[in-house]
Structure 1
Amino acid sequence: MLLSPVSARRSPEDVEYPGKPLSPGCIRLIRLLPGSWTEPIKCELFEVSLAIAKYHALSYVWGSKNVTRQIFLERRAFPVTVNLEGALRHLRERYKEQHDGLVLWVDALCINQKDIEERTSQVQLMGTIYTQCDQVIVYLGDRLQGSADPNVPPLVITFDEKGYTQDFPPKHHSEVDVYRVFNLFRELATTLHPGSSSDLNMTMMGKDENEQSNLFEALRRMMQPPFTPWWSRIWVIQEVTMKREVFIVYGTISVPIQLLASAARTYMTHSSSCCATFFSKLPKDQAKVLDDCCSRILGIDELRTVQEIRKTEWGADDATFSERSPLLDLLRKFRDRRASDPRDKVYALLSMARKSQSRPRMVPDYSLTEAEVFCRATLECIYDVRTLSVFSIDLGRKFRDDLPSWVPDWSAPGSLTYQVRAEIAELYDACPSMGVADEKSVLRTETGTLEVKGSIFDVIHRTEEIMWGGDVVSIYRNTLSRWWTALQDVNLAGRSLKNAYYEVICAGASCEPGPKTIVRRMFPRDDPTFATWPSVSSMSPFQDIPASDTGQPKEKIGYEPEALEAYKDMLKIWRDKVVLDSWLFGDGNLKSELVMAQSCSGNVVDNKSIFRYLLAYAPYPDLQVRNFVEDLGSLREDAPWELFFECMRRQLKKDRMDIWHASVFDNSIMAATLGRRLIIGRKYIGLGPADAKVGDKLFLLVGGKTPFVLRTKNFRAKPPEYEIVGDSFIWDGMDGQIARDQGRNWRTISLV
């Protein structure tokens, strides 16, 4: 029997490939020939037109190329990775009823990996290959437990979409852990309410703690990297989203991916609502494993659903998929996915990205270096979205030094914070009406520099400490306190320093956490949050000594005096809904068209009735209106506005709305400031990248959603050369205000 991992020491690249050159429009397939469990793996190669081919496509992890096993390909000994040999052996056993052999497309066997031209052309077809196959087989691994008898074939067990099985393993069989994991998903998928299912309770909790622990350890090994690295591969995105029929196989046990998705949706829905008590009985480490596994499954299912909707709405013709995601969005979303070849971090996503109608799309080309692929991907992103959004956030994470400053390192991992911040950057338009980023305004030169149109508007005179991450709230509070102190000498021409400070530390955006973070620009209606945050947030540097714009300490109170004005401003925002044209606060009187309209209609006009009317338009749907109206009952008809606002303040505090808004503001601050520092120029203040230094220039670039921090490299060059450090948030300059003041001060510069 040939099962030793050291039966062959040479990698597949060192052995002559037995396949003949491919004809245009054709692919190779293998026929996995029948054989007993212990017999060597034998495969035949044959060529077929992709348009008429019938086959299953294999999705798996290559594994190490240094340790290989031997199979026979076209009757020649051919080394393959241990993972591939195990997949072929188990699939042969699983499909042993197919007496003519199982027809498969396997990248490592069907593509001559040493032929760069063929490899390039075939990778360009992979989207179509996975779309047109009969079924995608995802092979996760051989077995979860220790080594089994190599001479005894494993049990073949099939879960269908309804969850029923053909067979089940004995209690001490080597496949029992795999079976129990898949059975857990089966029971979750077929149970209306997990908390009321005695079968699920027995499956999850087991007869004793040891049995329960073994189940969740098996789940962790099957669903989490590094034990099962398939879940973190970049090629997975394309391989399992292009075809509806996808089966997950572990050893010889299989389950349709739809069953896993259904189970994950059931768990995520019920564990946070009706069945929360049931799932709360799980130990925290086990609950975390289940949460993580279901999140991974739903992440893939979301992509599959989007792809299916697009096929239904626009048809199967790939050319009609005009609504696909931009390449930039895909690169950002899947930066944490892994690839053995860094170029595949780009190539694996190209077939899923939208196509341009006016220029050739980027295609895989393995003759290019990794750095050149990343450069071309950056240009593709610029010309696709016609902005310089690729410079926002992405430039700050580089794990290599062979890239120009304007090229992100797409092989570096991302983070949720960076993804959210990229969405926030799209809310700005710091350079409107100056043109778009296209082939005319953004040009790559023969020397590798990038020529763009830009205008300098300030120089950094001072930088403050970087905001570091972590779970320690005091880090944020101490840094925010230093930033506030640093701003005391800044002259904002009579404008409120505290309001400027609040907008800077949240970058003018609100980030509401949830299953999907909701980002939006800050509006005047957020002023009450600014007013209440200092005294209710644990991140606030004003907890002990709330500071005014003058920097003088004030007595600690529940709400600062600015709160009254903030609530008044909030009511002004409601006036569009209540059709009020003029307001008079403070003396208990309100003169407006509303008052006149009510007078003409014979209604009694008093402040209390107007309070109730305004309350109906309050932007807080969770506010307990009934309790609020009862509080109003103690007010005189001519009660002054201050009492109304005090009544509102008490009710907001009672309903904890102030705390909720403060927590959203906390989240917004973390998203905006993490990995950034406060920068102070001659005229402007804001947030800049962690690498920003005194003397760096603040620039607007044509097509840029945000201002950018540039560093002079060669001012005497023609055009002058700069290194791009990163994007920035500049207070009172994110909506074209600075651009309007620049006049003719625009010129061509080079980014090196």
Structure 2
Amino acid sequence: MPAERPSFLYTPLETGEIRLLYASIDEAGEVVWSLKSSQLLDGSNNSVPEFDALSYAWGDLDLAYQFVCNDQELQIHHNLYEALPYLARRRSSLPLWIDAICINQQDEVEKRTQIKLMSKIYRCADTVWAWIGIHDVAGLAFLDEIAQVGAKLAEHEGQSDLSSASFSMSQPAEYGLPSLSSPLWEKARLILCSSWLSRLWVIQEAVLARQLTFLSGLVEVSTHTFQSALYGWRLMRIILTEVVEGETPPQALARAGEQAVFVLREHLNQGREEGGFDWPFPLLATLRMTARTHKCSDPYDRVRGITGLVDESFIERLGVLEDRTIEEGYTRFTYAILTNSIPGVFWWWIFSSATAPGKRAGFPSWVPEYSRLHEDDIGGYHNISLFTYGAHHDIRASRRTSVPEQIGNFGTFVVKGLLFDRIQEVFPELPHREEWIMNPDPRQLFQDIDRHLATMYNWERDMASRVFGPSCLPSEQFARDAGDSPPRHITADAYWSTLTSGHKSAPSAPSVEDFYAFRASMDRVAQKVVWATRSDVDNLHDERERQGLANQEGPTSSEDPGVVFTWRISLTFGCRRLFTTVGGRIGYGPLTMEVGDAVCVLNNAIVPHVLRKIDSSPRESAYTLVGEAYVYDMMDGEVEGLGLEEQDFWLE
């Protein structure tokens, strides 16, 4: 019976030191591990030692395994325990840097010091090995074939209809691929769904690596092959939409892992080579691309786990490596980012995320709860800035440029801008809005077409009657009679464009004629509504009779104007409400808006924002951020023509 070994005792590190893990094979063929300290930074120009580094997903933290090192016992988790025998026999004799072993995880002071060095560690490593688990050799070889097909399909990605790439469920053999019933597809999917792809910490490890190589058992997979296979898989999922009966297993082309790590690796490294960018940009880009997809066990790691993307000299500004609460850590991090960068599209993503649903109390209004964004972000539609910027890069509400002032109070953020209106009325939200959020797809809406269209029809009529008055519902006759001066000075064009985010933000701007087509389609659906209440049917019938459309058929496909515009409106109002202002404007904003809230255009902003004055504050210009807004005819610099005086908004 082997003698019990003592628990591992770490020797404290000197300034600039790291630990490296060495593997040797004894006479019995067993791996013997030893951990030694090595100087990484000594204040001189001496060369750093040669070593490799490991990038891996920690996996299940509830299970611990014994690992013998320096003839002492350490506790490690399953994924690392599985990888170590193969790492000892990989194609390299260099020692390894592995966070779980080379950092004393029980020493918080050492952990903070070593995290500051991680940028240097991964940049200096000869090779960063990305462990993706043990997989079938045939599946690993199949990745090469998928990667090659992906390169061919990429030629068609610019086409509006990828199915025109002459690749269908019945034709994989034309590309040298096996039938979709082959087990190779599932084997490849398991590889491409590696948990490594959804771990937050690997982002900085992969981005900083000089040489990144994937390892499964003793099989090496190049970064190019792995990335190309993921890319090819994504394109095939788009193209292969027709299932051949009896041939396609359920998991054949299920969603693979995320590609963010490769996109960031290419983009950030290219940016550095071309002259660099403001130091906060890598953090902003990474936050935006990983918020909904990448996981970390500690909520604090949502910001701490990406600090290695910036040089050590900037990490201190972030203030996230000290012992702080989540609220204080996120606040200091956000303050450092916003006050050290010129506002851009990712900058305004922070503002939008700060007002996302589900945020807990304790955070300033302008600070996101980063660890909850993956739970509450609704596919990007909450973010009006990104939606607007994605449609028209040259359109933005503000034409002014300014850098936020640093005031030293991390809980308050000062931004300049123009206050141009106040909210006069906030209208009811879309009924059953959760259903619209969960199914923002016209094909899915069409599956329950009657109920969805009837709900939208009655909601839209209610909005119109509130905006124009119950006797002035927009119609062709109304538009002719009212001219440019209907009640509230809101035109039918302004109303309809606001409903669909048109004219100033949507890729294809709907017209007033489209509005009438929508109304006609809503009338036609009355013939199909048999489940509705009597009042619903009467409303539909009255409007149908008024427009003389009683004999027309209802919508029959997802291309019908009623379906298309129901879908468009649902994207906008699944998480927002319509409002009108004291100045006679119309727009939409967050569900939490209130009468009296200020409508502003902040300097550099892509879209307007709603702010709420803090009456209890001794500071006259103290506000809380309520959220982004769309305001008709105020989305493209029009505020500059109002002659308003610029002011400071102190956001708390």
- In the superposition, the TM-score normalised over structure 1's length comes to 0.64
The corresponding residue for 2:159 is none
1:533/1:543 CA distance change after superposition, 3 Å: farther
Superposition pairs of residues 80-159 of structure 1, within 5 angstroms: 80-92=76-88, 94-95=89-90, 102-142=94-134
Distance 1:695 1:416 in 2: 30
Please state how far the C-alpha of 1:119 moved relative to its aligned partner. Answer: 2.4
- Tell me whether 1:692 sits opposite 2:593 in the alignment: yes
1:705/1:310 CA distance change after superposition, 3 Å: closer
Please state how far the C-alpha of 1:338 moved relative to its aligned partner. Answer: 1.1
The corresponding residue for 2:611 is 710
Counterpart residue type for residue 263 of structure 2 = E
The corresponding residue for 1:262 is 228
Counterpart residue type for residue 625 of structure 2 = I
The corresponding residue for 2:59 is 63
Superposition pairs of residues 554-569 of structure 1, within 5 angstroms: 554-556=547-549
Decide which structure has the larger Cα Rg and report it.
Answer: 1
The corresponding residue for 1:410 is 370
Counterpart residue type for residue 127 of structure 2 = Q
Please state how far the C-alpha of 1:58 moved relative to its aligned partner. Answer: 0.7
Please state how far the C-alpha of 1:552 moved relative to its aligned partner. Answer: 10
The corresponding residue for 2:298 is 341
Please state how far the C-alpha of 1:198 moved relative to its aligned partner. Answer: 8.2
- Tell me whether 1:486 sits opposite 2:430 in the alignment: no
* Residue number among 430, 439, 442 corresponding to 2:397 in the alignment: 430
* Residue number among 270, 273, 282 corresponding to 1:309 in the alignment: 270
Please state how far the C-alpha of 1:418 moved relative to its aligned partner. Answer: 4.0
1:534/1:231 CA distance change after superposition, 3 Å: farther
1:740/1:277 CA distance change after superposition, 3 Å: closer
Distance 2:648 2:274 in 1: 44
Distance 2:9 2:462 in 1: 64
1:54/1:347 CA distance change after superposition, 3 Å: same
Contact 2:128 2:213 in 1 (8 A): yes
Please state how far the C-alpha of 1:406 moved relative to its aligned partner. Answer: 1.8
- Tell me whether 1:470 sits opposite 2:438 in the alignment: yes
Distance 1:530 1:130 in 2: 57
Deviations 1:141-173 (A, max 9, x none): 35xxxxxxxxxxxxxxxxxxxxxxxxxxxxxxx
* Residue number among 411, 414, 421 corresponding to 1:457 in the alignment: 421
Deviations 1:360-381 (A, max 9, x none): 8536524333222211232234
The corresponding residue for 1:73 is 69
Counterpart residue type for residue 468 of structure 2 = Q
Deviations 1:250-282 (A, max 9, x none): 344432232122334445556766x88899985
Please state how far the C-alpha of 1:313 moved relative to its aligned partner. Answer: 4.2
Distance 1:188 1:279 in 2: 20
Distance 2:562 2:281 in 1: 34
Distance 2:30 2:457 in 1: 66
Contact 1:56 1:103 in 2 (8 A): yes
Deviations 1:106-142 (A, max 9, x none): 1122223344443233323323322332222111235
The corresponding residue for 1:372 is 328
The corresponding residue for 1:392 is 352
The corresponding residue for 1:615 is none
Counterpart residue type for residue 430 of structure 1 = A
Contact 1:345 1:410 in 2 (8 A): yes
**What is the aligned residue count?**
566
Superposition pairs of residues 601-750 of structure 1, within 5 angstroms: 669-682=569-582, 683-715=584-616, 717-719=618-620, 721-738=622-639, 740-741=641-642, 743-744=644-645, 748-750=648-650
The corresponding residue for 1:209 is none
Distance 1:220 1:481 in 2: 48
- Where do 5+ consecutive residues of structure 1 fail to align? 143-176, 207-211, 315-319, 511-519, 560-655
Counterpart residue type for residue 363 of structure 2 = L
**SS in structure 2 opposite 1:45?**
strand
The corresponding residue for 1:283 is 248
State, as a whole percentage, how many aligned pairs show the same letter.
Answer: 22
Contact 1:333 1:419 in 2 (8 A): no
1:718/1:321 CA distance change after superposition, 3 Å: closer
Distance 1:33 1:281 in 2: 52
Cα RMSD between the aligned structures? 4.5
Counterpart residue type for residue 29 of structure 1 = L
Contact 1:685 1:731 in 2 (8 A): yes
The corresponding residue for 2:529 is none
Distance 1:276 1:743 in 2: 54
**SS in structure 1 opposite 2:197?**
helix
